[in-house]
Amino acid sequence: MIGSSADSPVLSARRELSFIQVINVGQRFLVNRVQDYIQSKIVYYLMNIHVQKHSIYLCRHGESEHNVQGCIGGDSELSARGKEFSRALRVFLEKQKIPDLKVWTSQLRRSIQTAEELCVPYEQWKILNEIDAGICEEMTYEKIEETYPNEFILRDQDKYHYRYPGGEVSGNRNNVLRDESSGVLTRRSRVFCAIALDVLPRMMALDLRTEHLALSTERSYQDLVQRLEPVIMELERQGNVLVVCHQAVMRCLLAYFLDKSASE
């Protein structure tokens, strides 16, 4: 329930019920008998969103050397065209004159190098890294089809749930896949260009931007969606943010913000 005052009949008459009272559009919260996982998720979400107008820019990194070669995954550097794109991105942002813009990147070189061309401070997030392609890392799709024909067919049948063999078993946050370019869309008060999902409390003690977490590797879109929860929560409560990330990550983020289902 959402109310404008803490002086509500609910407080005295319905203390046995589970409820969340939002007072003055998030100035205060009254939480009563919140006990299960879903209820806790709702509380975290409500405590971390704000209603102020802000823009979210989701941009894919510039073209990498592996993009040129048609290889997926890896940690290659930007190509000459990728560096040119990064400089063009800087010009675009300077023309926009976006106040207090924060820049987030993954911990992969192609994402970091794109942000470095902007000549502004940026934060690295390990959980923005690409899907891990396991034994298929740094291979072309043609090579995968030739070397692992069964895996190629399985992935083609269900890309959302398919996990590349090799690497670590999925847990909740980590690494690498394949790439392209960028663009910009608008929705309500936000500006986008990418993909994601879910929520997390601002009180979280762990610094999810660093690689100090003992977290395992995601090898499917389903794993990636779970991993991106903290990023989505932060984007919901931050001001203007530019996220320089990767193809699969952008797909998930865009799916979240445009209310798309897993099948879409």
DSSP strands (E only) in the chain: 2-3, 19-23, 28-32, 56-60, 102-105, 123-124, 185-187, 190-192, 241-245
* Least confident window among 55-59, 209-213, 219-223: 209-213
Q: What is the mean pLDDT of residues 183-193?
A: 32
To the question of pTM greater than 0.85 for the whole model, the response is no
Q: Does 66 share its domain with 32?
A: no
Q: Does 30 share its domain with 88?
A: no
pLDDT at residue 20 in the model: 86
Q: Does 113 share its domain with 231?
A: yes
Does 210 reside within a domain? no
Q: Would the annotation count 64 as a binding residue? A: yes
Q: What is the mean pLDDT of residues 233-242?
A: 90
Residue 184 makes CB contacts below 8 A (sequence gap 6+) with 57, 191, 192, 193
Instruction: Determine the Cα–Cα distance for residues 97 and 176; give it in Å rounded to an integer.
Output: 32
pLDDT at residue 207 in the model: 41
Are 43 and 30 a contacting pair, CB within 8 Å? Answer: no
Residue 63 scores a pLDDT above 80: yes
Q: Does 231 share its domain with 123?
A: yes
pLDDT at residue 150 in the model: 97
Instruction: Determine the Cα–Cα distance for residues 69 and 110; give it in Å rounded to an integer.
Output: 14
Which CATH number does the domain housing residue 119 bear? 3.40.50.1240
Q: Does 140 share its domain with 17?
A: no
Does 101 reside within a domain? yes
Q: Give the length of the chain.
A: 264
Can you spell out the DSSP letters for 193-247? -SB------TT--S-TTSS-S--PPP-SHHHHHHHTHHHHHHHHHSSSEEEEE-H
Q: Would the annotation count 65 as a binding residue? A: yes
Banded pLDDT at 9 (limits 50, 70, 90): low
Parallel/antiparallel/unpaired status of strands 19-23 and 2-3: parallel
pLDDT at residue 218 in the model: 63
> Percentage of the chain surpassing pLDDT 90?
53
Query: Could you report the per-residue pLDDT of 23-61, keeping only the tens digit for each?
Result: 887 788 888 888 888 888 888 888 877 777 889 999 999
Q: Does 21 share its domain with 114?
A: no
DSSP annotation of 76 reads: P
Q: Would the annotation count 67 as a binding residue? A: yes
Does 139 reside within a domain? yes
Residue 183 scores a pLDDT above 50: no
Does 147 reside within a domain? yes
DSSP annotation of 103 reads: E
More confident residue, 37 or 116: 116
Residues designated catalytic:
61, 146
Q: Does 18 share its domain with 134?
A: no
pLDDT at residue 62 in the model: 98
Neighbours of 114 (CB within 10 A): 30
Banded pLDDT at 205 (limits 50, 70, 90): very low
pLDDT at residue 8 in the model: 58
Q: Does 38 share its domain with 146?
A: no
pLDDT at residue 23 in the model: 87
Neighbours of 237 (CB within 10 A): 17
Parallel/antiparallel/unpaired status of strands 190-192 and 19-23: unpaired
Q: Would the annotation count 60 as a binding residue? A: yes
Q: Does 33 share its domain with 140?
A: no
Banded pLDDT at 83 (limits 50, 70, 90): very high
Q: Would the annotation count 110 as a binding residue? A: yes
Q: Does 42 share its domain with 82?
A: no
Q: Does 26 share its domain with 89?
A: no
Q: Would the annotation count 48 as a binding residue? A: no
Q: Does 67 share its domain with 26?
A: no
Domain coverage including residue 141: 56-168+188-199+215-258
Query: Could you report the per-residue pLDDT of 120-174, keeping only the tens digit for each?
Result: 999 999 999 999 999 999 999 999 999 999 999 999 999 999 999 985 444 433 3
Please name the residue that has the structure tokens 């690494």.
175
**What residues are paired with 104 via a beta bridge?**
123, 243
Domain total for the chain? 2
Query: Could you report the per-residue pLDDT of 100-114, keeping only the tens digit for each?
Result: 999 999 999 999 999
Does 178 reside within a domain? no
Q: Would the annotation count 62 as a binding residue? A: yes
Does 68 reside within a domain? yes
Does 3 reside within a domain? no
Does 180 reside within a domain? no
pLDDT at residue 21 in the model: 86
Please name the residue that has the structure tokens 């102020």.
52
Burial class (CB in 10 A: 0-12, 13-18, 19+), 119: exposed
Tell me what the pLDDT averaged over the chain comes to.
79
